[in-house]
Amino acid sequence: MNLDPDMSPESEEFEHLLGLHTIVEYIGAEREVIAHASALEPILLEAVRVCGATYIDHRVNQFVPYGASGVVLIAESHISFHSWPEHCYMAMDLFTCNLSMDASGAVQYVADRIGAERFESRVLKRGF
């Protein structure tokens, strides 16, 4: 199981660095976990706590026959996800304007909870 992503921000330089956008591809996830919004919702809400973000609100949607999408609004920005259980794949974005927030902790927590065989991630600097 390879769960050792490169979480360092890419090398763009900005006069005004306003946020970090972590993009994650979870591969080989447990189909039964990522198929259901009811299973993913508590995982994403706990990921907010794990990374030290401030929860505002959330919305998840269950697709028929399976798969889910959702967004968690945080004071620092948002976490969003979409799952493709037929491919054992889930995508997640975590965008934050708090540059010291522990996004990598949330990324690892989600990987562990959905049983991902591996994940790939990159961090984009946002700003101008």
Put the strands of the sheet holding 68-74 in their side by side order: 55-62, 68-74, 77-84, 89-96, 17-27, 118-127
Give ∠ CA 56-57-59 in degrees, rounded to 5.
160
> Is pLDDT of 116 > 50?
yes
pLDDT range class, residue 119, cuts 50, 70, 90: very high
Q: How confident is the model at residue 3, as a pLDDT?
A: 41
Q: How confident is the model at residue 93, as a pLDDT?
A: 99
Compute the mean pLDDT over every residue in the chain, rounded to the nearest whole number. Answer: 93
Task: Please count the CA atoms within 13 angstroms of the CA of 72 that sit on its side-chain side.
Answer: 25
In this prediction, residues 75-98 reach a mean pLDDT of: 98
pLDDT tens digits for range 12-62: 577 899 999 999 999 999 999 999 999 999 999 999 999 999 999 999 999
What does pTM read for this prediction? 0.88
Residue type for position 94: L
> Is pLDDT of 5 > 50?
no
CB 118 within 8 A of CB 89: no
Catalytic residue IDs: 77, 82, 97
What is the CATH number that goes with domain 17-127?
A: 3.60.90.10
Residue type for position 108: Q
> Is pLDDT of 104 > 50?
yes
Q: How confident is the model at residue 13, as a pLDDT?
A: 75
Q: How confident is the model at residue 4, as a pLDDT?
A: 43
The residue extents of the domains of the chain are 17-127
